């Protein structure tokens, strides 16, 4: 890597369950990425602002309250509106499998269910970096 | 000292009076399924082991007596089973009311209300931050009008109601009281609990509103109010559950919960209450995980530590103050999205740990909770799990059945020893509020959570269906509960209707009075809040008045 890959891990919505978000942030850092964690209770607007300011290539969204169908697509839309559609958005949390196709259609590139090994997330990021990403 | 003599004394002084007030099942003639006799409380002598009676009495004693290691009541479940209390709430007040009535019909013995996140953070459903969250993880309550529907046809003098509400606990308690007034139920008949535990929100759960100092003041206001007005109400449920779910160890769960409790006791004492006036209304809430023996030891250690802390540190003397009563919920983080039906078995183990540990009430999670809110069918299996443990397993027929197990007693002692080290460290930091402000507590939990997850990744810790025996890693469930997308709009319409029908001038007046009370640190805000809710001032409006005076807590991401 000539330049470190920068990843924003973000908690949209109002839920405070950040065990997963903190784990993924720390584990990705251990894999050599530069990771920024937003903390809980962020609006889609503030997430997009941070993503652009921090010049990240990836935004990982974590949500456990069930508001993913409303909030994940909103982050993608706002990134597009800011001309930052090259930033890859992925997600995780309590996301029922029947919601995943709709989220992907809205531009969320991958959704990782609970129990996903970190290696799968790393593989996804590396595939995106080298331009060979299959949507997971 | 002989233990036999101690047991006779305990029987005479503690057990017999309790039994005369409340009989045991089958008049105490409880046996095993083959008809073998079961003592109410077995002691080492019964198994033919010699014991140092002094050591036994110091560490264990008898149930209903200091240090309460063996349980808070003399006869425990031989007299009455734990309260079976399933946490429920979703969508609109009407839907949740129907679920409550379903659960009561299915044999549940107490209510436990889940509010949606906007309600928990003091936002009305029409607030911009509420978008997407209305009615999701619990029921949306914007005003007294919603609360009236939520408890429609549920006589509040006949149920006990636990409400998972923290930052705006005073407001929801006020609404509950106002509903009771409309039902003609007087305050002294109300039984229940508000969670009201803000400190763990800063470290683990996240539904804080105000900075720590005004939050502690709101809590002491509710303590005083409950002491004065609600003799059967638990004014707080000091919660280790969320600390554990955030990834702490069992030792940390005990230590940080007790550290929070110490902070609340000190705050209440500083307002002039005496310890025995309020300590009997402090209740606790723990998680029950899969490591059965450690969990049983944890509950026993927590009870003993609380009794010792209240006696030695705060000079409490009333047995009610010294006895740690707690609710348990089976772990959510310990369930798996993969092969979700296996969660039925896990929950049975978790629930068994809680019962062997002497819980006063229990929520059993449903198998599908790693995927969504539970279906009615899943909730019924969860409730039946408790009923099977109560009625079929036999563990409820003798008190503290695992006492005297060498491993359980050793673990009980070790958990106490290590939790005490944390308490000493927190004292050196300047108390729990300081230890939270400087991030020490959060860091400890985060490190433990990280270690745990690394162990899962490295397969040092095996979880069936996740990192072993995982031929089927699909996360689907045959049937899951789906949210009705119309809920948000229905709630918005309702809120608009309430606002258009109320007496606007009265709302303004009561909100102004509340703001004046909030501005005066010596004033009590409970009565002004009750006045506001009676006029149908909304949760968001009342919260906004308090935010204007108290400010908002800003959390650092910490990473």
Which of A36-50, B85-99, B103-117 has the highest mean predicted lDDT (pLDDT)? A36-50
Listed residue (B398, B387, B358, B356) closest to B31, CA to CA: B398
For residues B528 and B380, membership in a common domain is answered with: no
The answer to whether residue B54 sits within a structural domain is: yes
For residues B157 and B193, membership in a common domain is answered with: yes
Q: Give yes or no for B467 touching A (CB within 8 A).
A: yes
The answer to whether residue B98 sits within a structural domain is: yes
The answer to whether residue B479 sits within a structural domain is: no
Task: Name the domain count of chain B.
Answer: 3
Residue with tokens 């309590």: A94
Distance separating the N- and C-terminal Cα atoms of chain A: 23
Mean pLDDT confidence for B414-437: 97
pLDDT in the model for residue B475: 60
Q: Kindly identify which residue of chain A lies nearest to residue B473, measuring between CA atoms.
A: A115
The answer to whether residue B424 sits within a structural domain is: yes
For residues B199 and B244, membership in a common domain is answered with: yes
Distances (CA, A) of B360 to B55, B236, B334: 27, 15, 22
Q: What share of chain B is helix, strand, coil (3-state, %, to 5)?
A: 55, 10, 40
For residues B419 and B539, membership in a common domain is answered with: no
pLDDT in the model for residue B417: 98
pLDDT tens digit string along B350-398? 999 999 999 999 999 999 988 888 888 999 999 999 999 999 999 999 9
pLDDT in the model for residue B370: 83
Interface with chain A: mutation pick from B89, B124, B339, B559, highest number of A CBs within 10 Å = B559
Average pLDDT, chain B: 95
The answer to whether residue B248 sits within a structural domain is: yes
Q: Is the CB of residue B557 less than 8 Å from the CB of residue A39?
A: yes
Q: Which three-class secondary structure state does DSSP give residue B182?
A: helix
For residues B34 and B95, membership in a common domain is answered with: no
CATH number, position B420: 3.20.20.240
Distances (CA, A) of B127 to B73, B97, B218: 46, 24, 23
Residue B219 phi, psi dihedral angles, 5° rounding = -65, -45
For residues B543 and B420, membership in a common domain is answered with: no
How many CB atoms within 10 Å of residue B551? 13
**Top-level CATH class of A6-129?**
alpha beta
pLDDT tens digit string along B222-262? 999 999 999 999 999 999 999 999 999 999 999 999 999 99
* Token duo for residue B167: 């930052």
CB contact under 8 A, A40 and B132: no
pLDDT in the model for residue B484: 79
Interface with chain A: mutation pick from B119, B199, B475, highest number of A CBs within 10 Å = B475
pLDDT tens digit string along B53-109? 999 999 999 999 999 999 999 999 999 999 998 888 888 999 999 989 998 998 887
The answer to whether residue B169 sits within a structural domain is: yes
For residues B392 and B426, membership in a common domain is answered with: yes
Question: Which ipTM did the prediction report?
Answer: 0.93
The answer to whether residue B471 sits within a structural domain is: no
pLDDT tens digit string along B390-415? 999 999 999 999 999 999 999 999 99
Q: Kindly identify which residue of chain A lies nearest to residue B559, measuring between CA atoms.
A: A37
Per-residue buried b or exposed e for B409-444, using 16+ beta carbons within 10 Å of the residue's own CB = bebbeebbebbbebbeebeebeebbebbbeebbbeb
Q: A interface toward B at CB cutoff 8 Å?
A: 13-19, 22-23, 25-27, 35, 37-41, 43, 65-67, 69-71, 94, 96-98, 113-115, 117-119
For residues B49 and B102, membership in a common domain is answered with: no
For residues B322 and B416, membership in a common domain is answered with: yes
Whether the per-residue pLDDT at B277 is higher than 90: the answer is: yes
Q: Kindly identify which residue of chain A lies nearest to residue B340, measuring between CA atoms.
A: A114
| Domain assignment of residue B41, given as a range | 3-59
* Distance, CA of B483 to chain centre: 26
pLDDT tier, A1 (very low <50, low <70, confident <90, very high otherwise): very low
For residues B350 and B451, membership in a common domain is answered with: yes
User: Residue B514 gets which letter from DSSP?
Assistant: H
pLDDT in the model for residue B434: 95
For residues B238 and B372, membership in a common domain is answered with: yes
* Token duo for residue B138: 């619990």
**Rounded distance between C-alpha atoms, residue B66 and residue B96, angstroms:** 41
Q: Kindly identify which residue of chain A lies nearest to residue B466, measuring between CA atoms.
A: A115
Domain map (residue ranges) of chain A: 6-129
Helix (H) or strand (E) holding A23: helix A19-30
The answer to whether residue B559 sits within a structural domain is: no
Q: Which three-class secondary structure state does DSSP give residue B87?
A: strand
pTM of the model: 0.95
For residues B495 and B419, membership in a common domain is answered with: no
pLDDT tens digit string along B490-536? 999 999 999 999 999 999 999 999 999 999 999 999 999 999 999 99
Mean pLDDT confidence for A79-106: 96
């Amino acid at each position: 890597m000539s330049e470190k890959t920068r990843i924003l891990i973000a908690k949209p919505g109002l839920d405070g369950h950040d065990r997963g978000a903190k784990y993924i942030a720390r584990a990705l850092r251990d894999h050599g990425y530069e990771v920024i964690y937003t903390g809980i209770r962020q609006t889609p607007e503030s997430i997009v602002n941070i993503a652009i300011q921090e010049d990240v290539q990836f935004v990982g969204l974590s949500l456990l309250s069930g508001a993913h169908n409303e909030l994940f697509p909103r982050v993608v839309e706002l990134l597009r509106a800011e001309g930052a559609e090259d930033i890859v958005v992925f997600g995780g949390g309590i996301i029922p499998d029947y919601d995943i196709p709709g989220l992907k259609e809205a531009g969320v590139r991958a959704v990782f269910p609970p129990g996903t090994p970190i290696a799968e997330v790393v593989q996804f990021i590396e595939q995106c970096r080298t331009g060979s990403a299959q949507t997971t | 000292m002989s233990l036999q003599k101690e047991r006779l004394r305990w029987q005479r002084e503690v057990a017999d009076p309790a039994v005369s007030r409340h009989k045991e099942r089958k008049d105490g003639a409880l046996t095993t399924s083959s008809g073998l006799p079961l003592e109410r409380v077995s002691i080492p002598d019964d198994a033919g082991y010699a014991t140092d009676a002094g050591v036994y009495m110091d560490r264990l004693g008898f149930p209903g007596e200091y240090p309460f290691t063996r349980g808070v009541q003399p006869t425990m479940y031989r007299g009455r089973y734990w309260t079976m209390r399933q946490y429920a709430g979703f969508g609109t007040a009407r839907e949740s009311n129907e679920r409550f009535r379903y659960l009561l019909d299915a044999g549940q013995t107490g209510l436990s209300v889940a509010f949606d996140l906007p309600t928990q953070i003091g936002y009305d459903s029409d607030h911009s931050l509420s978008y997407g969250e209305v009615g999701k993880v619990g029921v949306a309550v914007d005003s007294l009008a919603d609360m009236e529907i939520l408890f429609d046809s549920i006589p509040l003098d006949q149920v006990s109601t636990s409400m998972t509400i923290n930052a705006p606990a005073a407001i929801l308690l006020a609404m509950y009281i106002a509903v009771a007034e409309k039902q003609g139920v007087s305050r002294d008949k109300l039984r229940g609990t508000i969670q009201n535990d803000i400190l763990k929100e800063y470290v683990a759960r996240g539904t804080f509103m105000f900075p720590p100092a005004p939050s502690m003041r709101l809590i002491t206001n509710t303590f005083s109010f409950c002491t004065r007005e609600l003799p059967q109400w638990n004014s707080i449920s000091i919660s280790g559950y969320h600390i554990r779910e955030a990834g702490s160890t069992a030792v940390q769960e005990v230590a940080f919960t007790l550290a929070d409790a110490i902070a609340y006791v000190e705050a209440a004492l500083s307002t002039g209450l005496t310890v025995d006036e309020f300590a009997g209304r402090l209740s606790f809430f723990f998680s029950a995980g899969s490591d059965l023996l450690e969990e049983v030891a944890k509950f026993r250690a927590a009870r003993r530590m609380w009794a010792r802390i209240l006696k030695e540190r705060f000079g409490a003397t009333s047995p009610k103050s010294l006895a740690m009563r707690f609710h348990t919920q089976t772990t959510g983080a310990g369930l798996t999205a993969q092969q979700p039906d296996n969660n039925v078995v896990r929950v049975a183990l978790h629930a068994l740990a809680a019962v062997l540990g002497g819980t006063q009430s229990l929520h059993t999670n449903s198998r599908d909770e790693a995927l969504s809110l539970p279906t009615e069918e899943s909730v019924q299996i969860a409730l039946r799990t408790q009923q099977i443990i109560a009625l079929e397993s036999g563990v409820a027929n003798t008190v503290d059945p695992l006492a005297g197990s060498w491993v359980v007693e050793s673990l009980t002692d070790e958990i106490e020893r290590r939790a005490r080290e944390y308490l000493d460290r927190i004292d050196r930091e300047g108390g729990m509020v300081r230890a939270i402000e400087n991030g020490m507590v959060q860091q400890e939990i985060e490190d433990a959570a990280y270690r745990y997850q690394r162990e899962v990744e490295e397969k040092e810790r095996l979880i069936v269906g996740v990192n072993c025996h995982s031929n089927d890693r699909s996360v689907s469930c045959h049937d899951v509960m789906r949210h009705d997308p119309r809920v948000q709009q229905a709630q918005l319409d309702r809120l608009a209707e309430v606002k258009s029908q109320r007496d606007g001038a009265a709302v303004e007046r009561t909100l102004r009075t509340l703001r004046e009370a909030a501005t005066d640190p010596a004033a009590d805000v409970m009565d002004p809040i009750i006045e506001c809710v009676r006029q149908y001032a909304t949760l968001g409006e009342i919260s906004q008045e308090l935010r204007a005076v108290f400010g908002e807590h800003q959390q650092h991401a910490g990473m």
